[in-house]
Amino acid sequence: MSVADEQTKLGSAVLLDEAFPIVDRRFGENSPRVLGPHTWLQTQRLLIRLVRDPMTFFFGLVFPIFFLVVVDIVLGDTISSVTGHNALYGSVPMVTLIGAMNGATVGAVGIITERSDGLLARLWVVPVHRASGLLARINAEAVRVVINSFFLLCVGLLLGLRFEQGVLASLAWLCVPVVFGVAFASLVLTVALYWPSTTLVDAIVTLNSLVLFFCTGFVPLDQYPQWIQPVVEHQPLSSAIEAMRGLSLGGPVLGPALGTLLWSGGIAVACVIPMVLGYRRASMRG
């Protein structure tokens, strides 16, 4: 809508020397004092992106809630009669963890598109702490998992889940999916950095379904055939579910919690170096 002569002066006001703001450059680019603020800044950007993508809600809330309700209808009574307590103690943790795991695909797709669009390169050229980009991604995943788990916990409470172990245990219950979700998200991010393909989402969802079927939250451990019980018992999802079950219902917590920490820590440690190298390589060109 601008008239021709206005357009010819476009930007002229901002190109006066006085118009440019002065920047505080006292701290070096990689100084620890700026790591926090820079990371939080980029985390905010990623959170806005997550909120604006409907798939976040689908994977994180819609699918888990439907799955929880349907599994409760179909298997709930059977499992209660077999185990003696409410099936929700197993299925709510399972669904929370699956929501966290499937939701990580949104961030993975995000980093793949940002890389092909050139946004990663642009963010590399900006004078922020070199580690803040990657840390922001992990941070955003953690925030997403916390909020997600909280909502799914509320749904569980609505359906009849009750905490027998007190408030502290309930808070700890929320921490388990965060630990696990962050480890899984870092794995997914690492894979996305080395295999930037859109079929990644399908592969991850299928893998998650496989893991879902063979965990103790789906069907009690002793219902599985003998030969597969060790696998089911020790897989990372089962450890986390058992820890959460112990924290809500009662029963062993230390063992499964240690298992969860070992799995999560192991995955995270294994992913750190490839992730850092991959992120650098994805941002820079050559």
Partner 1 sequence: MSMGVAREQARPATDVVVTTALAAARPKPSTFGQWWILTTRLVAPTVRNGEVLFAVIASVVFTAGWFIPLNHIMGATSGMSSYAQYLMPLIALQGIAFASVTGALRAATDSVKGVNRRFQSMPIGPLTPLAARMSAGVHRCVVGTAAALISGHVIGFRFYRDLEYTVGFCLLLLLIGAVLSFLADLLGTNSKNPEATTQWLLLPQLIFGLLSVGIQPVERFPEWTQPIVRNQPISQFVYALRALAGDKTSAAGSVTWSVVGPSLAWLVGAMAIMVPLSVIVLRRRL
Partner 2 sequence: MIQVAVDPAPTKRELMQEKRVHTSDNTVIVNGIGKSFGAVDALRDVSLEVGQGEVVALLGPNGAGKTTMVDILSTLTRPDRGHASIAGFDVVSQAASVRRSIMLTGQQVALDEILTGRENLVLFGRLQGLSKSNARSRAEELLREFDLVHAADRRVGTYSGGMRRRIDIACGLVVRPEVVFLDEPTTGLDPRSRQTIWDLVAGFKNLGIATLLTTQYLEEADALSDRIIVIDHGVIVAEGTADQLKERTGGSYCEIVPRDLNDLPAIADALGSLLPEENRAALTTTADRIAIPAPGGANTLVEALSRLNTANIEFTDIALRRPSLDDVFLSLTKDSASIPVPDEPVAGEQPVDAPNGSDGPKHRTSGRGRSWLASHSRALIMLVTCVVTCVNLLIAASLVIPQKDSRPADRSAANTSVSPASIRAGPPPGSAPSTPQLSLPSEPLPTPVPLVAPSATPSATTLQQQDFADVQPASPPLQAAVSAPEVPIASPPVAPVSTPQVPIASPPVAPVSTPQVPIASPPVAPPDPLQVILSPLLGALP
**Contact set with partner 1 (CB under 8 A):** 54-55, 58-59, 62-63, 66-67, 70-71, 73-75, 77-79, 82, 198-199, 201-202, 205-206, 209-210, 212-214, 218-220, 223-225, 228
Give the side-chain half-sphere CA count within 13 A for 57: 5
Tell me the closest approach of the beta carbon of residue 24 to partner 2, in angstroms: 5
Residue 32 binds which of partner 1, partner 2, none (CB < 5-8 A, kind-dependent): none
Measured in Å, how far apart are the chain's first and last C-alpha atoms? 43
10 binds partner 2 (CB under 8 A): yes
**Closest of 86, 98, 100, 93 to residue 244, by C-alpha:** 93
Buried b (16+ CB within 10 A) or exposed e, 153-190: bebbeebebebebeeebeebbbebbbbbbbbbbbbbbb
Least distance (Å) from partner 2 to the CB of residue 98? 21
Cβ 133 to partner 2 shortest distance, Å: 10
Are 29 and 130 in contact by the 8 Å Cβ rule? The answer is yes
| Under rule CB under 8 A, residue 13 binds partner 2 | yes
- CB of 113 vs partner 2, minimal distance in Å: 8
Map the footprint of partner 2 across residues 57-96, applying CB under 8 A: 77-78, 81-82
* Residue 200 beta carbon to partner 1: minimum distance, rounded to whole angstroms: 11
Kindly compute the dihedral angle of the four CA atoms of residues 191, 233, 158, 141, in this order, to the nearest 10 degrees: -20
Of the residues 32, 168, 225, 254, which one makes contact with partner 2 according to CB under 8 A: 225
Distance, in Å, from the CA atom of 197 to the CA atom of 103, rounded to the nearest integer, reads 17
Quote the tokens at residue 168.
Answer: 């502290």
Interface stretch with partner 2, choices 219-227, 235-243, 256-264, 265-273 (CB under 8 A) = 219-227
SS3 assignment, position 66: helix
Cα dist. 149→93, 107, 121, 177, 233 in Å? 9, 17, 33, 7, 23
Find the shortest distance in angstroms from Cβ 224 to partner 1.
6
Place of tokens 């894979």: 191
Q: Which does 125 bind (CB under 5 to 8 A by kind): partner 1, partner 2, none?
A: partner 2
Calculate ∠ Cα 101-59-283, nearest 5°: 65
User: Should residue 284 be labelled a site residue for partner 2 when binding is judged by CB under 8 A?
Assistant: yes
Cβ closest to partner 2, residue 118 vs residue 250: 118
> Of residues 112-171, which lie at the interface with partner 2 (CB under 8 A)?
112, 114-119, 121-128
When the beta carbons of 44 and 170 are compared against partner 2, the nearer one is 44
Interaction between residue 21 and partner 2 (CB under 8 A): yes
The residue among 137 and 257 lying less far from partner 2, judged by its C-beta, is 137
Residue 39 vs 148, nearer CB to partner 1: 148
Task: Write the single-letter amino acid at 59.
Answer: F
Q: Is 202 in the site for partner 2 (CB under 8 A)?
A: no
Residue 87 phi/psi, 5-degree rounding, is -65, -20
* Shortest Å, Cβ 212 to partner 1: 8
- The Cβ-side half-sphere exposure at 275, using a 13 Å CA radius, reads 22
